[in-house]
């Protein structure tokens, strides 16, 4: 009998729930036994300690420990929230599968069932994301956007206790842990574009492991992969030329000659006062190329200048999460 497939996961409720979804699919489709192996990451330790991450590069802080466990053979598969993955490749590791994607939009969890627009001026809205913070400020609603750290439970608890009037979270996370009914509003991407890859899972394996090929065949969703590849290409190209908050969303839509990939992206100054917003369409088979070209147009239109100090008039600094 084959040895169990060991799946590396962070220990949070959301992470283990997501990993269990992948584990159940592997058991069902490959007929293999599976077991979850909890791995502590730098991001988890900093959250538990309340250590600020602002001012440092946080891309990958929830990922590197899982990848280390994969490379040294402690686990056979690593499951991540795809938006946490760095855009550059990891030596010895392959993105074996991107399963079907959850709704990528952001949601508001507010007191008294309020929507974002119904919150009084001066209300305290929490987010750990510069992307969300900049776009919330750009809406001009008069709310105070403050940094917040912690897992989904602790962030929602801050609303219930009255410390915050609302927090903004990923819809996918609430849906996966069965708490979507606590969202008081789903934000239209016209207002707030999600993070590249939000709502998608990344299933990684060692590049020389036959399991990677098997998982690609049974778990990968080509439509989700095309959308995510376009969004991550936007992020990778923009990161090469600017450090501004970035949102991106790609969707497959029916065009005149079959399916087309439609990509929307935004880069903003931290205070939301300045932004470059563009969209593009193209062939899903050239998803990364569509995203890259869109990002280059944004850089040419001034995205590279958005994060300069003279364009940041924000009083409230938020932390990465």
- Average model confidence (pLDDT) for the chain? 90
Give the pLDDT confidence score for residue 307 in this predicted structure: 73
Label residue 55 by pLDDT band (50, 70, 90): very low
Give the pLDDT confidence score for residue 24 in this predicted structure: 97
Judge whether residue 28 has pLDDT over 50.
Answer: yes
pLDDT, tens digit, for every residue of 72-96? 999 999 999 999 999 988 999 999 9
Give the pLDDT confidence score for residue 240 in this predicted structure: 77
Give the pLDDT confidence score for residue 315 in this predicted structure: 40
Residues 6+ apart with CB under 8 A from 141: 116, 117, 119, 121
pLDDT, tens digit, for every residue of 173-201? 999 999 999 999 999 999 999 999 999 99
Question: Which comes out higher in pLDDT, residue 305 or 59?
Answer: 305
Residue ranges per structural domain of the chain: 5-100+200-220, 106-195, 228-310
End-to-end CA distance of the chain: 41
- Give me the helices (H) in the chain, please: 13-30, 42-49, 64-71, 130-138, 152-160, 171-176, 210-219, 222-239, 287-300
Most confidently predicted of 2-6, 43-47, 212-216: 212-216
Where does residue 261 fall: left (phi above 0), alpha (psi -120 to 50 degrees), or beta otherwise?
beta
Superfamily for the 5-100+200-220 domain: Periplasmic binding protein-like II (3.40.190.10)
Give the pLDDT confidence score for residue 313 in this predicted structure: 56
pLDDT, tens digit, for every residue of 108-147? 999 999 999 999 999 999 999 999 999 999 999 999 999 9
Question: Which comes out higher in pLDDT, residue 61 or 112?
Answer: 112
Catalytic residues: 84
Give the pLDDT confidence score for residue 46 in this predicted structure: 54
Are 5-100+200-220 and 228-310 in the same CATH fold? no
Is the Cβ–Cβ distance between 62 and 197 less than 8 Å?
Answer: no
Mean pLDDT over residues 3-28, rounded? 95
Residues 6+ apart with CB under 8 A from 209: 76
CATH of segment(s) 228-310: 3.30.160.40
Write out the two tokens for 39.
Answer: 């791995």
Label residue 258 by pLDDT band (50, 70, 90): confident
Label residue 62 by pLDDT band (50, 70, 90): confident
Label residue 243 by pLDDT band (50, 70, 90): confident
pLDDT, tens digit, for every residue of 271-313? 999 999 999 999 999 999 999 999 999 999 999 999 776 665 5
pLDDT, tens digit, for every residue of 142-171? 999 999 988 899 999 999 999 999 999 999
Beta strands 124-127 and 166-170 are parallel
With pLDDT > 90 as the criterion, what percentage of the chain qualifies?
A: 81
Give the pLDDT confidence score for residue 40 in this predicted structure: 84
With pLDDT > 70 as the criterion, what percentage of the chain qualifies?
A: 90
CATH of segment(s) 106-195: 3.40.190.10
């Amino acid at each position: 009998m084959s040895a169990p497939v060991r799946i590396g996961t962070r220990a949070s409720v959301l992470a283990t729930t997501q990993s269990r979804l992948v584990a159940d699919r592997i058991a069902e489709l490959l007929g293999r036994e599976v077991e979850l192996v909890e791995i502590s990451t730098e991001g988890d330790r900093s959250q538990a300690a309340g250590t600020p991450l602002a001012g440092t590069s946080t891309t990958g802080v929830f990922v590197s420990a899982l990848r280390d466990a994969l490379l040294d053979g402690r686990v056979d598969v690593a499951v991540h929230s795809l938006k946490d993955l760095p855009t550059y490749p990891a030596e010895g590791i392959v993105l074996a599968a991107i399963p079907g994607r959850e709704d990528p939009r952001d949601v508001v969890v507010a007191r008294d069932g309020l929507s974002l627009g119904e919150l009084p001026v001066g209300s305290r809205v929490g987010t750990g994301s510069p992307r969300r913070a900049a776009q919330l400020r750009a809406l001009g609603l008069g709310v105070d956007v403050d940094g917040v750290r912690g897992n989904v439970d602790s962030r929602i608890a801050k609303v219930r206790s009255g410390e915050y009037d609302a927090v903004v979270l990923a819809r996918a996370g609430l849906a996966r842990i069965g708490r979507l009914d606590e969202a008081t509003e789903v934000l239209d991407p016209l207002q707030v574009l999600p993070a590249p890859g939000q709502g998608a899972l990344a299933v990684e394996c060692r590049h020389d492991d036959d399991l990677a090929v098997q998982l690609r065949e049974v778990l990968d969703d080509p439509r989700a992969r095309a959308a995510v590849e376009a969004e991550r290409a936007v992020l990778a190209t923009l990161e090469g030329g600017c450090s501004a908050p970035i949102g991106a969303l790609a969707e497959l839509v029916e065009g005149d000659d079959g399916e087309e990939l439609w990509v929307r992206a935004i880069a903003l100054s931290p205070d939301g006062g300045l932004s470059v917003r563009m969209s593009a369409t193209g062939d899903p088979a050239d998803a990364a190329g569509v995203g890259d070209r869109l990002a280059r147009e944004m850089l040419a239109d001034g995205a590279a200048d958005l994060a300069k100090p003279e364009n940041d008039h924000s009083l409230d600094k938020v932390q990465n999460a």
